[in-house]
Each structure stands twice: as C-alpha cells, then as structure tokens.
Amino acid sequence: GLLLDADKTYLTTAQLGARSSTGDSEGQLLDPRPVPTFTNEQIDEALRHFRGAIEQIPPMYSALKHQGQALYTLARQGKEVERKPRRVFIHRLDLIAQRPSQLDLEVHCSKGTYIRTLVEDLGERLGCGAYVRSLRRTWVSGFVGQTMYTLADLEAMSEPELTQCLLPTEAGLSGLPEATLSADQTRRMLHGQSLRIEAEPAESAIVFGADRRLLA
C-alpha cells in the first residue's frame, strides 16, 4: 500500500507517428501519421499542458476492474467499456532528449498516473500520435538516492551480492509514526501479550523493540 501510494519518477521514450492498441510497443500500431519537425519550444509548449493536476482516462489495457473483470481481460476480447477520468498530479515533465520521431521524457508523478496515457495524450496534443517505446522507473518516494536494479542485474548476482542489495523492512515504511518499546514492553510483545504505549493517534505506525529491531 505505501509504495503504491507513493510518488514515482519514470524515464520514458515516446515514439511519435502512431498510436498503439496497448499504448506501448507490444500493441498493434494504429492511425499512422507523419511527424513534423518540432522545435524544443513547440515540445515544451505541449508538455506544459500536462504539468500539474490533470485528468486521465485509464487505458483499456490496465488492471482496473469493470463489473469484477480486469479491463485488460475485456480488451483482449476486443471489448471497450466507458472509463471515468481520474485526477492525477504531474509534478515534473521534462524533455531529456529529442531524436527524429522520438522524445525522451522524465516524469515525476503522483500515484495512479498512467505513463502510456500521458504519452498518448501528448501525441494527440502534438497532432501526430504517440506511444510508449520504453519505460523505466527510476525513483520511488522514500527511496531517494537508492540504486534500482533490473531483473537481469539481479539474476547475474551472487547470493552475497543479492544480500547487499536488500534494504531493511523499515525502509519501505518511512513516514509512518514510530514508537520504541522498553525492554519489558519488548519482552511482553514478543510473548504475544497486549500492551499500551504512549504515542500519537495514527491509523498505522512502526513499532521498534528496545534494541531498535522492527517488531510491527
């Protein structure tokens, strides 16, 4: 839940000149169009419309459900259903590089943002269509400066190297209120006994033992 709710940053390459049935390079290409030569100013003017609070219509190829069925299941059956727009927030949307028919973009966005939809809407704004050619998450709120590894990186590592990559459990719980127990309270909790602690009211909290080990 916490990581799903966190802001995220992505690097994506937008392929101009067509849409895709899935919004990315795995889908069927649709509506091919010529790509004009855009200036950086024209690109930035288009990007400006997608910064801040925006509304997105979720793509059919997504895990959202309609009457109990995932949208991607319906999409694979050739069906399309109405989806309600969802409000998201784009903190930052920058042009990193421009090549013929391709734009490299960096996006810092709120939870629930669909990069495929963002790129598709940008393509329509530019008038030539676009879909996601590549996408990589580079940052998750609470993990600033942490190295992120690809699956291929992890598969190539030895067991000691994998162990070094692991972060403590509490690294994913940053931002929650904390409570540290006394030695007696720690013993009682480890024996499954109930106890009362002095702490600020909160829906969720992190509880450390007297030795600062995470207990709950």
Length of the chain: 216
Q: Percent of the chain at pLDDT above 70?
A: 92
pLDDT tens digits for range 177-208: 788 888 888 888 888 888 887 777 777 778 88
Q: Are residues 129 and 190 in the same domain?
A: no
Q: Is the residue at 152 inside a domain? A: no
Angle (nearest 5°) at CA 160 between 156 and 161: 45
Using DSSP's 3-state secondary structure scheme, residue 73 falls into: helix
Question: What does the pLDDT average to over 17-42?
Answer: 96
Q: Are residues 51 and 92 in the same domain?
A: yes
Question: What does the pLDDT average to over 65-72?
Answer: 89
Q: Are residues 188 and 134 in the same domain?
A: no
Q: Are residues 22 and 62 in the same domain?
A: yes
Residue 143 pLDDT more than 70?
A: no
Structure tokens at 151: 């699956």
Q: Are residues 81 and 124 in the same domain?
A: yes
Cβ atoms 61, 71 nearer than 8 A: yes
